[in-house]
Chains A and B, each alone.
Chain A
Amino acid sequence: MRKLVAKIIMLIIAAALLTVGLKTGGFKDVKNRAAMVCFECIGIG
Chain B
Amino acid sequence: MKISYKRRCIQVTAAVLYNCNFKGFADGHIYRGDSKGVCVPGLNCYSCPGAVGACPLGSLQGGLLSAGNRIPYYVLGTILLFGLMLGRFICGFLCPFGLVQDLLSKIPVKKIKKNKVTRVLSYLKYAILAVFVIFIPLAFKYPGFCKLICPAGTLEGGIPLLIKNESLRSMIGFLFSWKCGVLVIILVMCTFCHRAFCRFLCPLGALYSLFNPISVYGIRVDESKCIGCGKCVRECKMDVKKVCDRECIQCGKCVEGCPKQAIKYGLHK
Given A6-B214, A21-B76, A26-B73, are A38 and B37 also a contact pair (CB < 8 Å)? no
Given A7-B216, A11-B84, are A35 and B72 also a contact pair (CB < 8 Å)? no
Task: Spell out B's residues near A (CB within 8 Å).
Answer: 30-34, 36-39, 45-47, 51, 53-55, 58-59, 62-63, 66, 70, 72-78, 80-81, 84, 142-143, 146-147, 150, 153-154, 157-158, 161-162, 168, 171-173, 175-176, 178-180, 211, 213-214, 216, 268-269
Q: Closest approach, in angstroms, between the C-beta of B106 and any C-beta of chain A? A: 27
Residue from A7, A14, A15, A39 in contact with B214 in the complex, judged by beta carbons closer than 8 Å: A7
Question: A21 to chain B: which residues have CB within 8 Å?
Answer: 72-78
14 additional A-B pairs beyond A16-B77, A18-B73, beta carbons within 8 Å, are A3-B268, A15-B77, A29-B63, A33-B59, A34-B46, A37-B47, A37-B168, A38-B47, A38-B146, A41-B47, A41-B146, A43-B158, A43-B179, A44-B171
Given A37-B161, A43-B158, A43-B175, are A10 and B80 also a contact pair (CB < 8 Å)? yes
A34, B168: Cα distance in complex, Å: 17
A30, B65: Cα distance in complex, Å: 12
15 contacts between A and B (CB under 8 A): A3-B213, A10-B80, A14-B81, A17-B80, A21-B73, A30-B38, A31-B37, A33-B58, A35-B30, A35-B32, A38-B157, A42-B154, A42-B162, A43-B153, A45-B147
